[in-house]
Amino acid sequence: MNEASAQPFLPLTRPTIDEETIAGVAEVMRSGWITSGPQMKAFEAALSTYFGGRPVRAFNSGTATLEVALALCNIGPGDEVITTPLSWVATANVILRAGAKPVFVDIDPVTRNIDLTLIEAAITPNTRAIMPVDLAGLPVDRDQLYAIAKKHSLRVIEDAAQSMGARWKGACIGALGDLVSISFHPNKNMTTSEGGCLVLNNEQEAKLAEQHRLQGVVRDADGGMEVDIVGGKFNMTDIAARIGLSQLKQLDSFNLKRTELAQHYFDCFAKTEVGLGGVKQGESEQAIPLGLPVADFTDSNWHMFQITVPFDQLNITRGDFIRAMQSRGIGVGVHYPAIHLFKAYRRLGFKEGDFPHAERIGRETVTLPLFPAMQFNDVDRVCTAIREIISETTSQNKK
């Protein structure tokens, strides 16, 4: 057994669930009230405090929050929503499910977020909203975003699924802006097992979100009810909310550890000549350029640490690279393929070449392990594995 295989498998991500949380969930289970109830209300109140007193409603997924946000903006057939082609496919799927049209704008190849300088050219008389994504927890420029939205009287639905704990000019994402959707999926910076929340502008909007969350129902004090809109079934359980209450208390420490690990990745890549300068075996050999994320240690919450690898130049596939990492006991991920190249979007007329930056980043991205329980030596192990794989591949290509 080689040294790499003797080490425990290092997953891409893993939630940190402590004993207090487990005990709290057991209390909820014993209480007899396990669906939406007092724990959900307490969680919403805690989130509201976190977001500076803004109304917050909890949902069973981050996707549900986006669907409801679109409904609150009255977006439907004939409308257009500008968004990025580089995200989890849910970002665009919810627009289609609302009957509207996603209008993609290519990304900035440095930040990998939507290129805000291209948005105005994509606005038409049918445009109703902009839906930006903070990829890997790196915030889109909120000043520039909202200046465009204000100029053209557009709603903003922030797909901040990956942004819990990220900041913009000192304020946490969600404390300012229009509608802000956040995910609590198990791979996020804090989790409720599955779930999400929507940060809203006022109580009237929050009440309407509640109707959309649960079949459009409005109850009165006499036990009667009315349904005047068609809602869905998106409520968060008390079990999930109890997990969220504990996770929210630990969010700052989780994000601090993520930041420290991200910094160590940069340090490690620099020491091993892996990074923007590439990998090389000797001074006379050409470096293989790897792309690192923006080194933002002020605003980013370091939800993910993503590198880009020029697989064509290395003459290997991404699958080959992933399998080589797995053979060394390391899990990696792909976040994300360009949305417009999926079959469901090609059928709408999108094609290769439409958004070249998103397509290249989507082809070359590899997401490396990053979660609070990791240690610095885990980062060292990942960087060493990458160097070995690229060096071995380079050597084989010369034969």
Rounded to the nearest 5°, which phi and psi values hold at 179? -85, 130
The residues that are catalytic are 188
Q: Is there a contact between 301 and 189 (Cβ–Cβ < 8 Å)?
A: yes
Question: Cα separation of 319 and 311, whole Å?
Answer: 10
Give me the residue label for tokens 């340090």: 267
**What is the 3-state secondary structure of the chain?**
CCHHHHCCCECCCCCCCCHHHHHHHHHHHHHCCCCCCHHHHHHHHHHHHHCCCCCEEEECCHHHHHHHHHHHCCCCCCCEEEECCCCCCHHHHHHHHCCCEEEECCECCCCCCECHHHHHHHCCCCEEEEECECHHHCCCCHHHHHHHHHHCCCEEEEECCCCCCCEECCEECCCCCCEEEEECCCCCCCCCCCCEEEECCCHHHHHHHHHHHECCEEECCCCCEEECCCCCECECCHHHHHHHHHHHHHHHHHHHHHHHHHHHHHHHHHHCCCCCCCECCCCCCCCECCECCCCCCCCCCCCCEEEECCHHHHCCCHHHHHHHHHHCCECCECCCCCHHHCHHHHCCCCCCCCCHHHHHHHHHEEEECCCCCCCHHHHHHHHHHHHHHHHHHHHHHHC
Exposure string of 331-353, with b = 16+ CB inside 10 Å and e = fewer, is bbbbbbbbbbbeeebeeeebeee
Q: Is there a contact between 247 and 194 (Cβ–Cβ < 8 Å)?
A: no
Q: Is there a contact between 85 and 339 (Cβ–Cβ < 8 Å)?
A: yes
